[in-house]
C-alpha cells in the first residue's frame, strides 16, 4: 500500500513522500524541465505543507531543502510514493 | 574573423575588468551585490528588453575599480523568462551591447547546496573563469551544517569562499579572490565551452555524490520559517494577517504622507509666488509659474506616498513575505487569468499607477505582466481623489444611510469598487477571449526562508525608486507639462474679451470641439476644456475648472469656491457621468509615458489609451442616460 504511486496533488498534508517520476501533459512539455530545475527529480523527498483556502489550490510543497508554491495542475504532474518509514534516503 | 563569434569587440564598452554575479533567485545575490558595491550602482535596462540591469563599482584592495554586474536570478541556463534569458545571453556572450564577463561569481545558498550547485556546474561548462561564493554560510552553521570550503573547491575544481551578505565585512574573502581579476584582452577567446550533453538528472547526481563525499547530503530541517509559515500560510489566520497588513500599509500611505505632501504643495505655491513677484508679467513668467513649477509640483507631490508604499513593499520583499501574499491570493487572481504575483503592482496603483506599473517587473510571465500593466490605471489612484471630493461634495448630500454609513463615503467606496470591477472584468475578458489567456500557466513560485530585512538593501532599493521617479519627472513629465501649458496659454485672448483667457487658447478650442463628442454623455464645454490640462495629472482638472469659471481663488480654495457654483449649474446626471468618466479614463499622460518605457514601444500605451477611453465613454454614457431616465437631469 505504501509503495502505491500517487500524484503530488493528492497526498495528505505533512506526509513525507519521494518523487518517482514527472509526467507532463502534451500541451505543457516545458513544465518537465521547469519542475526538474526546481528540484522535482526522482528520488527527491517532497511533502505538502499547506493548501490554499479556495479549493485547496495552490499547494505549498517542500522539495529537498526548498519550498515552492505549485498550482494543482503542476503538482498533478509529479508522481510520488510514500517515503520509506526508516527515513533512509534514496539517492538517485 | 567572423564578428558573430567575437561579440566582445562589436560594441564600445567601458574598460576595466567585468565581474558578473550569477545565482538562483533568493540566494542572497543582490544583498551580496549591495555589500560589494554599496551605493555606487546604476540601474538601467538591458538593450532591447525591459529587464532591469544593475551595475555597480567595487574598489579592489589594490585601489583599482572593478565593474560588477548583478545578473537576474536563474534556476538554470535554460531560460524560462525574459530575466533568465538575459542571464544566459550575457554568460554566452550573446546579449546585445554586453561584454562577456571576465569572471563569474556563482552565488550559492549554503543552506541549499543540493539545488544551487547544479547552476555552478552549468556555469562552469560555459568555459568562463568562475569562483563560488558560499553565501549564508552563517545561517548554515547555525543549523549545524559545517561546510569545508576547501574540500568543496577540490570537488568542483573551482575556488570557493564563504560569504555573509547581510554582515558588513562578510565579503572579505570574496574581495581577496577578486583582486587578481584582469580584463580579457580584446580578441582573446574564453576557453571553449563544454558542449557535452548535460541533463538535469545527471547534474543532480553529480551534486548528490559531491554532497555525500562531504557529508552534507542530509536535508537541513526547515526550522523557524516552517513555524512562521504555519500561521502565515494558514487559510484563515494567514488571510486575516494579510488583510491587516494591507490595511495598515494603506493607512500609513495616506496618513504619514499628509504632512510632507502639504509641505510640497506649500513649497510649490511659495516658489510660484516668489517668481511671480520677481518677474514682469510676460509669457515666460506664466511658463515658469503655471507650466513648469505648478506642473512639476503637481507630480512631486506624490513622491511621499510612493516612498512610503515602496518602503513597505521592499520590507515585505526582503523578509520573504511577498511570495506568501501571492500564494494566498493566487486562486482569487487566477479566476481572472492572472497569478498572485500581479497583486502587489495592482495594490501599488492605488497610490499611483506609475510605481504600480514599475512594480510589474516582478512578474516573470510576459503575458501576465502585460495584462497587469494594462489594468493598473483602473485602480483608483490618489490623484483622482481631489476630483471625486469636489463632485461628491457638490452633489451628494451629507447624510447617514441605515444609521451607520455616511452617504458620501459610500459613494467614494463605490467608485473604488467600480475601478476594481472594471479591471477584473477586462482581465477576465482577456483570459476568456485570447488564446494566451486560456493557456494554463504554472505558478512554481519559491517561498524563500524568512530573513530580517537589512537597512542597506532597503535604503538602496528606496533610493533607486526615487531616482527612477525623479528622472521621469525631469524628462517626459516636464516636456508634457510645458506642452500642455502652451496649449492652455496660446493664443492669448483678443482685445475686449470677456471670458477666461483659456477659452480663447488652443486648449479652449480643443475643448469646444470635444464638447461635440462629449455632449451625449452630458459634459458641457467648461468640463471639456478642463479635461485637456487635466491630462498632465488628474487633479489638475480641478484647478482648470477654476480657471474656466474665471475664479480668482487659488490652490485648495478653488474646490471650496467651485463646489456651490457647479452644484447650481451642472445637472446631477452630468456629475455622475463625470465621476464614471474618471473611474476609467486614461487621464494621465505620465502613466502612458511609463507604459511606453516599460513595454518598449508605443503600441501598448496607444492600445491602453484607446480601450480605456472607449470604456470610460461607455460607462459615462450609460450613467448619464440612466440618471436622466431616473429624473436626475
Smallest Cβ–Cβ distance between A37 and the set B76, B327, B447 belongs to B76
pLDDT of the residue at B255: 80
CB atoms within 10 A of CB B435: 6
No. of H helices and E strands in chain A?
Answer: 2, 6
Burial of A46: CB neighbours in 10 Å, binned 0-12, 13-18, 19+? buried
Burial of A76: CB neighbours in 10 Å, binned 0-12, 13-18, 19+? middle
* Average pLDDT, integer, range B123-141: 90
Using alpha carbons, select from B359, B427, B415 the residue that is nearest to residue B52. B359
Confidence band of B222 (pLDDT split at 50, 70, 90): low
Report the distance separating Cα B514 and Cα B522, nearest Å: 12
Q: Say if A14 is an interface residue toward chain B (CB within 8 Å).
A: no
Our measurement of the distance from residue B567's CA atom to the centroid of its chain's CA atoms, rounded to an integer in Å, reads 39
Contacts of A39 in chain B (CB under 8 A): 114-115
Using alpha carbons, select from B195, B235, B241, B232 the residue that is nearest to residue B77. B195
CB atoms within 10 A of CB B325: 21
Give the tens place of pLDDT for each residue, B583-617: 999 878 888 988 988 888 899 999 999 999 999 99
Q: Say if A67 is an interface residue toward chain B (CB within 8 Å).
A: yes
Confidence band of B477 (pLDDT split at 50, 70, 90): low
pLDDT of the residue at B2: 42
* Average pLDDT, integer, range A31-35: 88
Does residue B49 register a pLDDT over 50? yes
Q: Between residues B180 and B54, which one has the greater pLDDT?
A: B54
Does residue B137 register a pLDDT over 60? yes
Output the nine-digit C-alpha cell for B224: 523557524
pLDDT of the residue at B157: 92
pLDDT of the residue at B50: 65
Q: Between residues B503 and B559, which one has the greater pLDDT?
A: B503
| Mean predicted lDDT score pLDDT of chain B | 83
Give the tens place of pLDDT for each residue, B85-116: 889 999 998 888 888 999 999 999 998 888 88
CB atoms within 10 A of CB B394: 18
pLDDT of the residue at B201: 82
Q: Do you find a cis peptide bond into B491, omega within 30 degrees of 0?
A: yes
pLDDT of the residue at B194: 67
Contacts of A68 in chain B (CB under 8 A): 444-447
Q: Beta partners for B133?
A: B107, B161
Report the distance separating Cα B549 and Cα B499, nearest Å: 9
Q: Say if A58 is an interface residue toward chain B (CB within 8 Å).
A: yes
No. of H helices and E strands in chain B?
Answer: 29, 10
Radius of gyration of the CA atoms of chain A, in A: 12
* Average pLDDT, integer, range B401-430: 87
Does residue B207 register a pLDDT over 60? yes
pLDDT of the residue at B473: 66
Substitution target from A35, A69, A87 for chain B, most B beta carbons within 10 A? A69
- B3-7, B100-104, B239-243, B344-348: least confident range: B3-7
What Å distances lie between residue B511 and B191, B391, B488, CA to CA?
66, 20, 10
Contacts of B200 in chain A (CB under 8 A): 33, 36-37, 41
Give the tens place of pLDDT for each residue, B274-317: 988 888 888 888 888 877 787 777 777 778 877 887 888 889 88
pLDDT of the residue at B482: 79
Q: Between residues B419 and A86, which one has the greater pLDDT?
A: B419
pLDDT of the residue at A20: 94
Which residues are within 8 A (CB) of B549 and not within 5 positions of it... i.e. 6 or more apart? B500, B526, B562, B565
pLDDT of the residue at B33: 93
Helices (H), B198-302: 200-213, 224-232, 237-256, 258-278, 283-286, 294-300
Using alpha carbons, select from B437, B377, B314, B379 the residue that is nearest to residue B595. B377
Report the distance separating Cα B140 and Cα B109, nearest Å: 9
Q: How far is B204 from chain A (nearest CA, A)?
A: 8
Answer whether A57 sits within 8 Å of B330, measured CB to CB.
yes
Tell me which H or E stretch contains B315.
helix B303-319
Q: How far is B359 from chain A (nearest CA, A)?
A: 21
Report the distance separating Cα A22 and Cα A25, nearest Å: 10
CB atoms within 10 A of CB B90: 23
pLDDT of the residue at A48: 94
Does residue B432 register a pLDDT over 90? no
Tell me which H or E stretch contains B184.
none
Smallest Cβ–Cβ distance between A38 and the set B218, B234, B444 belongs to B444
- If you measure CA to CA, which chain A residue comes closest to B341? A69
A vs B: CB pairs below 8 A? 121
Q: How far is A79 from chain B (nearest CA, A)?
A: 16
Does residue B383 register a pLDDT over 70? yes
Residue corresponding to grid cell 540591469: B53
Does residue B619 register a pLDDT over 90? yes
* Average pLDDT, integer, range B371-394: 87
- If you measure CA to CA, which chain B residue comes closest to A50? B233
Confidence band of B518 (pLDDT split at 50, 70, 90): very high
Answer whether B233 sits within 8 Å of A60, measured CB to CB.
yes
Q: Between residues B518 and A56, which one has the greater pLDDT?
A: B518
Using alpha carbons, select from B582, B588, B624 the residue that is nearest to residue B609. B588
Which long-range contacts link B386-389 to residues 24+ away (Cβ below 8 Å)? B386/B538, B386/B539, B386/B542, B386/B559, B387/B538, B387/B539, B387/B541, B387/B542, B387/B578, B387/B582, B388/B412, B388/B415, B388/B579, B388/B582, B389/B559
Does residue B320 register a pLDDT over 80? yes
Amino acid at each position: 500500500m505504501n509503495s502505491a504511486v500517487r500524484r503530488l496533488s493528492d497526498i495528505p498534508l505533512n506526509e513525507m513522500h519521494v518523487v518517482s517520476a514527472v509526467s507532463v501533459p502534451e500541451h505543457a512539455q516545458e513544465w518537465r524541465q521547469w519542475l526538474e530545475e526546481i528540484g522535482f527529480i526522482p528520488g527527491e523527498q517532497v511533502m505538502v505543507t499547506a493548501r490554499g483556502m479556495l479549493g485547496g489550490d495552490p499547494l505549498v510543497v517542500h522539495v529537498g531543502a526548498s519550498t515552492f508554491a505549485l498550482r494543482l495542475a503542476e503538482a498533478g504532474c509529479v508522481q510520488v510514493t510514500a517515503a520509506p518509514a526508516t527515513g533512509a534516503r534514496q539517492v538517485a | 574573423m567572423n564578428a558573430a563569434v567575437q561579440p566582445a569587440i562589436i560594441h564600445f564598452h567601458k574598460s576595466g575588468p567585468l565581474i558578473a554575479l550569477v545565482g538562483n533567485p533568493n540566494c542572497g545575490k543582490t544583498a551580496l551585490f549591495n555589500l560589494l558595491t554599496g551605493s555606487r550602482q546604476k540601474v538601467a535596462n538591458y538593450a532591447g528588453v525591459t529587464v532591469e540591469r544593475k551595475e555597480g563599482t567595487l574598489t579592489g584592495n589594490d585601489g583599482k575599480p572593478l565593474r560588477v554586474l548583478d545578473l537576474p536570478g536563474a534556476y538554470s541556463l535554460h531560460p524560462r523568462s525574459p530575466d533568465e534569458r538575459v542571464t544566459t545571453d550575457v554568460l554566452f556572450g550573446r546579449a546585445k551591447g554586453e561584454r562577456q564577463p571576465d569572471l563569474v561569481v556563482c552565488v550559492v545558498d549554503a543552506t541549499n547546496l543540493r539545488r544551487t550547485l547544479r547552476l555552478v556546474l552549468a556555469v562552469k561548462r560555459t568555459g568562463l573563469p568562475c569562483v563560488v561564493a558560499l553565501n549564508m554560510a552563517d545561517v548554515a552553521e547555525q543549523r549545524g551544517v559545517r561546510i569545508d570550503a576547501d574540500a568543496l573547491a577540490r570537488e568542483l575544481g573551482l575556488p570557493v569562499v564563504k560569504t555573509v551578505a547581510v554582515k558588513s565585512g562578510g565579503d572579505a574573502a570574496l574581495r581577496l579572490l577578486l583582486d587578481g581579476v584582469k580584463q580579457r584582452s580584446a580578441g582573446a577567446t574564453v576557453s571553449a565551452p563544454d558542449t557535452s550533453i548535460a541533463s538535469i538528472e545527471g547534474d543532480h547526481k553529480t551534486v548528490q555524490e559531491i554532497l555525500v563525499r562531504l557529508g552534507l547530503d542530509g536535508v537541513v530541517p526547515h526550522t523557524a520559517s516552517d513555524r512562521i509559515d504555519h500561521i502565515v500560510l494558514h487559510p484563515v489566520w494567514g488571510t486575516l494577517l494579510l488583510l491587516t497588513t494591507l490595511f495598515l500599509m494603506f493607512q500609513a500611505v495616506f496618513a504619514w504622507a499628509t504632512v510632507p505632501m502639504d509641505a510640497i504643495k506649500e513649497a510649490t505655491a511659495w516658489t510660484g509666488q516668489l517668481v511671480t513677484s520677481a518677474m514682469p508679467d510676460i509669457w515666460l513668467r506664466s511658463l515658469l509659474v503655471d507650466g513648469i513649477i505648478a506642473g512639476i509640483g503637481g507630480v512631486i507631490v506624490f513622491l511621499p506616498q510612493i516612498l512610503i508604499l515602496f518602503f513597505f513593499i521592499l520590507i515585505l520583499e526582503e523578509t520573504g513575505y511577498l511570495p506568501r501574499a501571492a500564494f494566498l491570493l493566487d486562486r482569487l487572481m487566477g479566476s481572472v487569468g492572472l497569478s498572485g504575483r500581479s497583486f502587489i503592482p495592482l495594490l501599488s496603483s492605488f497610490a499611483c499607477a506609475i510605481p504600480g506599473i514599475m512594480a510589474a517587473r516582478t512578474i516573470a510571465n510576459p503575458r501576465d505582466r502585460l495584462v497587469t500593466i494594462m489594468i493598473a490605471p483602473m485602480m483608483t489612484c490618489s490623484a483622482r481623489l481631489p476630483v471625486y471630493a469636489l463632485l461628491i461634495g457638490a452633489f451628494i448630500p451629507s447624510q447617514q444611510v441605515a444609521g451607520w454609513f455616511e452617504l458620501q463615503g459610500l459613494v467614494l467606496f463605490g467608485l473604488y469598487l467600480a475601478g476594481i470591477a472594471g479591471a477584473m472584468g477586462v482581465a477576465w475578458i482577456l483570459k476568456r477571449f485570447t488564446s494566451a489567456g486560456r493557456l494554463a500557466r504554472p505558478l512554481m513560485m519559491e517561498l524563500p526562508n524568512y530573513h530580517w530585512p537589512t537597512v542597506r538593501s532597503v535604503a538602496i532599493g528606496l533610493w533607486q525608486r526615487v531616482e527612477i521617479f525623479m528622472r521621469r519627472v525631469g524628462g517626459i513629465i516636464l516636456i508634457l507639462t510645458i506642452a500642455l501649458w502652451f496649449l492652455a496659454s496660446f493664443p492669448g485672448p483678443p482685445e475686449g474679451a470677456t471670458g477666461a483667457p483659456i477659452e480663447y487658447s488652443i486648449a479652449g478650442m480643443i475643448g469646444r470641439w470635444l464638447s461635440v463628442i462629449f455632449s451625449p454623455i452630458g459634459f458641457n464645454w467648461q468640463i471639456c476644456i478642463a479635461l485637456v490640462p487635466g491630462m498632465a495629472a488628474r487633479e489638475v482638472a480641478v484647478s482648470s475648472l477654476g480657471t474656466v469659471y474665471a475664479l480668482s481663488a487659488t490652490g485648495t480654495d478653488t474646490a471650496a469656491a467651485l463646489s456651490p457654483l457647479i452644484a447650481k449649474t451642472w445637472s446631477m446626471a452630468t456629475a455622475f457621468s463625470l465621476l464614471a468618466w474618471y473611474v476609467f479614463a486614461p487621464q494621465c499622460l505620465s502613466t502612458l509615458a511609463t507604459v511606453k518605457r516599460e513595454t518598449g514601444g508605443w503600441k501598448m500605451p496607444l492600445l491602453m489609451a484607446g480601450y480605456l477611453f472607449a470604456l470610460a465613454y461607455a460607462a459615462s454614457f450609460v450613467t448619464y442616460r440612466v440618471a436622466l431616465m431616473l429624473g436626475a437631469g
